[in-house]
Amino acid sequence: MKLTKNIVSIVTDVILNESEAIKNLVNHINDDFQHIIDAILSCKGRVVITGIGKSAIIGNKIVATLNSTGTPALFMHAADAIHGDLGMIQGGDVVICISKSGNTPEIKVLVPLIKNRGTILIGMVGNVDSYLAVQSDYVLNVTVEREACPNNLAPTTSTTATLVMGDALAVALLECRNFSSEDFAQLHPGGALGKQLYLRVNDVYTANEKPMVAPDATVKDVILEISSKRLGAAAVVDSAGILQGIITDGDLRRMLNAHDSFKQLCAADIMTKAPKTIDADEFAASAMLLMQSKNITQLIVMKNENFAGFIHIHDLLKEGIV
């Protein structure tokens, strides 16, 4: 089938259509948004989101975003609600009903049942003159001028606008709850994202060897220590346990370039002073960022201001910290 329009032009039109609709959402924000935030923050139950069709799909995503940012939420399909699932709504819940038209038969049946339960009803709707909008306590206006679909039929721009409004709601609630990265980590313990938010250097480095030499150690002793511990470096620590420097494979190569003989040299002569270190209680992700910024592969770990060991970039890659 021969296309009558250039693909790049089609894609560009869709993106511009949807981005313009998102931009226009700011014109729909009014006092109702503040009232909705207040209602959700003060409710004793959960946010119950309902809808049908594409609105149901978007509703499920909004529920997931709310749950992951500190606002307990669940999804109730509008069609199933009138066949028993209405029991999911408990006293103290807030209900958000999503509908582009606000006039679908399922919504018209469901709305009175929700209101009879004494629940605050929020309409997230694309038609502010619709049955849902009129019956709602508060309205989130997600009206769009037209869909990206050339026939103005397939839910495209309207679902994007609804999704963005849901994100705006979740982030506003997150800010009001002072939801921190530590709180986020508690709800996202799995995968690389979770590890970035909770895994600390102390959880990783202790499995490694602890290569270290005295400042007066011979170069031969330094090489043997680095080779046997397989971390590509050794810490230089004096008799009082105070860190003096670090010797890496790179320091050894530079020594060979600078000296014809190293028999008279000791660790203090070839070490790098003031090495990069990280506290054992720091996040492992911070160790990765420091290594990347300094273009190095290991860091000395400090605990209570004392040398504790090494953390290597391979440790972090193995943990999925990227």
> Residue 292 sits in a domain of what CATH number?
3.10.580.10
The confidence score (pLDDT) of residue 5 equals 67
Residues 172 and 206 in one domain: no
Reduced to 3 states (helix: H, G, I; strand: E, B; else coil), residue 20 is: helix
Residues 129 and 248 in one domain: no
Does residue 182 contact residue 262 with C-beta atoms inside 8 Å? no
Q: Both tokens of residue 77?
A: 């399909």
**Structural domain includes residue 194:** no
**CATH number of the structural domain spanning residue 171:** 3.40.50.10490
Per-residue pLDDT tens digits for 188-223: 666 556 666 678 999 999 999 999 999 999 999 999
Query: Which residue intervals of 87-154 are DSSP H helices?
Result: 105-116, 131-135
The confidence score (pLDDT) of residue 91 equals 85
Q: Is 77 annotated as a binding residue?
A: yes
Query: In percent, how much of the chain has pLDDT > 70?
Result: 93
- For all residues of the chain together, what is the average pLDDT? 91
Residues 209 and 311 in one domain: yes
Residues 148 and 224 in one domain: no
Nearest in space to 233 (alpha carbons), one of 246, 218, 242, 221 = 246
Angle subtended at Cα 172 by Cα 166 and Cα 178, rounded to the nearest 5 degrees: 135
**Structural domain includes residue 64:** yes
Residues 174 and 221 in one domain: no
The confidence score (pLDDT) of residue 280 equals 94
Average pLDDT, stretch 177-185?
Answer: 75
**Structural domain includes residue 191:** no
Alpha-carbon distance of 308 to 206, in angstroms, equals 9
Average pLDDT, stretch 34-61?
Answer: 96
Q: Domain range spanning residue 255?
A: 201-318
Based on the structure, what is the number of domains in the chain? 2
